[in-house]
Structure 1
Amino acid sequence: MAQIQLTASAPLVPFNCGAKQLSKSVLVCSSRRCASFSTLSFTSFRSTKVRNFELGASTAAASNEGFEEVVEGQPLPALGSSYTWPDKKPSHRDPPHKMKGKSRLFTIGLVTAWYSSNIGVLLLNKYLLSNYGFKYPIFLTMCHMTACSLLSYIAIAWMKMVPMQTIRSRVQFLKITALSLVFCVSVVFGNISLRYLPVSFNQAIGATTPFFTAVFAYFMTLKREAWLTYLTLVPVVTGVIIASGGEPSFHLFGFLICVAATAARALKSVLQGILLSSEGEKLNSMNLLLYMAPIAVVFLLPATLIMEENVVGITLALARDDVKIIWYLLFNSALAYFVNLTNFLVTKHTSALTLQVLGNAKGAVAVVVSILIFRNPVSVTGMMGYSLTVFGVILYSEAKKRSK
């Protein structure tokens, strides 16, 4: 790059580019000429193209061509020293306040959409399986997975929301298949438990996921946490025991199925960390859902035909009497995919830790909303137990964060 020698010249006459006065010492360089002026007056000094102007008798007339952009705050060399003018104009690191405000509103909108879809699909599942009388949780889960398969392909292959990641080997495919099977068990068991338990108690049991995650991680990976981390799991389990004793709608089979669903959910997260740990096998959550959902449909279809005989005929018969059942199933299935989509977007625009904190708060919101909608009886003991569980989960999150 050519060196441009800067030398002092006589003081220059100030010029005015607007009403707002701002005094600066600025150097403006041209590939043909250099001009020095001691005092300038401008309107906005962020990034200004210098055009023809008169500086006085001691300066040459500047050309329209060859002028660089001058940016406020750029350090200037001492007069008489050599200086290499940068090829690129410096950029402001801090975004404008308007951009920050828009980003904040966008994040709040994402979190609201995630909360709404997550709580919505939970309440609609409860309504269909318990109140409406559609007692086919496996078929309902298969509808969810079918929608996730189609909408995932549209979002990734057509809309290009995330880059398409491919399965690179048969071994990786078998690992994804194993994850899909565990995932199916967790979702199906969770839907079955909603037939017997209120949403509030279901969420209280589901909050114990960190306990099962720590147990599986210890036995499967021999990964040990700090003693304080394990200590925080005591209120998590104690709270569920207290909530179980004070739950007016307690159902033993529903309780055991819900515990199994929670354990399967934790097992899936641990297995995902083990099976897809190498750099070549890692998939983001959107691509993982793209491959897991169709495999889940393959598992669920024979289970539905065997365990829920003639479910398609029964659904069509219900539709002839009340067409709303079709719209319920379609909307519920689309909402199930939207839960995964918003989960991914919230994680992308915030962090995994923020998602964990928001998830804890989401459970409490779901409990309150379900009680208001379904009017299920709740005892003081049950609410105290659930509050203790949530408090334990928050302590566990903090202990995990400090141990890293």
Structure 2
Amino acid sequence: MKNSSRFFTIGLVTAWYSSNIGVLLLNKYLLSNYGFKYPIFLTMCHMTACSLLSYVAIAWMKMVPMQTIRSRVQFMKISALSLVFCASVVSGNISLRFLPVSFNQAIGATTPFFTAVFAYLMTLKREAWLTYVTLIPVVTGVIIASGGEPSFHLFGFLMCIGATAARALKSVLQGILLSSEGEKLNSMNLLLYMAPIAVVFLLPATLFMEENVVGITLALARDDIKIVWYLLFNSALAYFVNLTNFLVTKHTSALTLQVLGNAKGAVAVVVSILIFRNPVSVTGMLGYSLTVFGVILYSEAKKRSK
């Protein structure tokens, strides 16, 4: 029984890594290498798939009990989270048009810094001084990596910083807005309600900012049907990122999840360099390594302060 449980957990972690890194690499390929330059439409495809597959998983397959929205206030809170979530995903996808995955992941590793800043600004919650000290190598590493990045692009860098900040803001807002017992939702149910609201936000943005994207996609499909399969597979993979993250969280400890999360970014960097052959410098890799080291120290400091 113990062996089967271990193999099951290893399988879950492998699926989590594969879906995370897979959707990241496929996004990069579509937006940069393939030339499908429509990050808002791509995000809308992701959210549409998350809406449909979340409903199938919860309402039909009964993977988790369905939790209902209990009030208009709770709905407004979920809508606010959905808007921030949209900003994070769209900004992240835009950044992939201009930045290599390795540098994108280096910037993304600074999430703890933004989380600490937003937590302090919005809740006045102070961490132990040692926790703040560990954020110094997190930020310093990205500054070093930026200086040594051969493919540095200012707009892509700003979009990636925005995506990272929005991701941190969502986690802090979620803790504030859905803190009461009556309003708490597990991540599967939260995605069930957030995803369709995100589609509503993204549809007008797509029509206004990416004019005739549906017509262009259909024209592309007539020349190369693979684009349809890329979009379908990529969208389904975006849902499985959330599903496997929920399952790994459920079947492992918080500490294990932190360690796996830190390692995942490093694996994504190595795989992306091997696939896309983007140039990397020694300075850039040293900067990224310093950031990851800082994140590990931050996780350890947080654990000790509790």
Structure 2, unaligned runs of 5 or more: none
SS in structure 2 at match of 1:162: coil
Count of residues paired in the alignment: 306
Identify the residue that residue 303 of structure 1 maps to in structure 2. 205
How far the C-alpha of 1:357 sits from its partner, in A, is 1.4
Within the alignment, does 1:276 sit opposite 2:276 as a pair?
Answer: no
How far the C-alpha of 1:352 sits from its partner, in A, is 2.6
Q: CA offsets per residue over residues 196-246 of structure 1, 9 Å max, x none?
A: 000000000000000000000001000000000000000000000000000
How far the C-alpha of 1:124 sits from its partner, in A, is 0.1
How far the C-alpha of 1:351 sits from its partner, in A, is 2.2
Query: How far, CA to CA, are the matches of 1:271 and 1:231 in structure 2?
Result: 24
Query: How far, CA to CA, are the matches of 1:355 and 1:172 in structure 2?
Result: 28
Question: Which structure has the larger Rg?
Answer: 1
Query: How far, CA to CA, are the matches of 1:322 and 1:230 in structure 2?
Result: 51
How far the C-alpha of 1:355 sits from its partner, in A, is 1.4
After TM superposition, where is structure 1 displaced by more than 6 Å over at least 4 residues in a row?
Answer: none
SS in structure 1 at match of 2:58: helix
Query: How far, CA to CA, are the matches of 1:325 and 1:173 in structure 2?
Result: 35
Query: How far, CA to CA, are the matches of 2:74 and 2:256 in structure 1?
Result: 30
- Aligned residues: CA RMSD: 0.4
Query: How far, CA to CA, are the matches of 2:85 and 2:239 in structure 1?
Result: 14
Q: CA offsets per residue over residues 114-164 of structure 1, 9 Å max, x none?
A: 000000000000000000000000000000000000000000000000000
Of residues 197, 211, 222, the one that matches 1:320 is: 222
Query: How far, CA to CA, are the matches of 2:282 and 2:52 in structure 1?
Result: 44
How far the C-alpha of 1:353 sits from its partner, in A, is 2.6
Query: How far, CA to CA, are the matches of 2:17 and 2:262 in structure 1?
Result: 11
Query: How far, CA to CA, are the matches of 1:356 and 1:160 in structure 2?
Result: 28
Identify the residue that residue 364 of structure 1 maps to in structure 2. 266
Query: How far, CA to CA, are the matches of 1:250 and 1:120 in structure 2?
Result: 23
More RCO (CA 8 Å, sep 6+): 2
How far the C-alpha of 1:356 sits from its partner, in A, is 1.7
Within the alignment, does 1:223 sit opposite 2:131 as a pair?
Answer: no
How far the C-alpha of 1:371 sits from its partner, in A, is 0.2
SS in structure 1 at match of 2:180: coil
TM-score, normalized by length of structure 2? 1.00
Structure 1, unaligned runs of 5 or more: 1-98
The structure that is strand-richer by fraction is: 1
TM-score, normalized by length of structure 1? 0.76
SS in structure 1 at match of 2:165: helix
How far the C-alpha of 1:354 sits from its partner, in A, is 1.7
Query: How far, CA to CA, are the matches of 1:241 and 1:151 in structure 2?
Result: 39
Of residues 191, 195, 202, the one that matches 1:289 is: 191
Query: How far, CA to CA, are the matches of 1:273 and 1:352 in structure 2?
Result: 16
How far the C-alpha of 1:362 sits from its partner, in A, is 0.3
Q: CA offsets per residue over residues 15-50 of structure 1, 9 Å max, x none?
A: xxxxxxxxxxxxxxxxxxxxxxxxxxxxxxxxxxxx
Identify the residue that residue 102 of structure 2 maps to in structure 1. 200
Query: How far, CA to CA, are the matches of 1:127 and 1:165 in structure 2?
Result: 37
Query: How far, CA to CA, are the matches of 1:202 and 1:352 in structure 2?
Result: 25
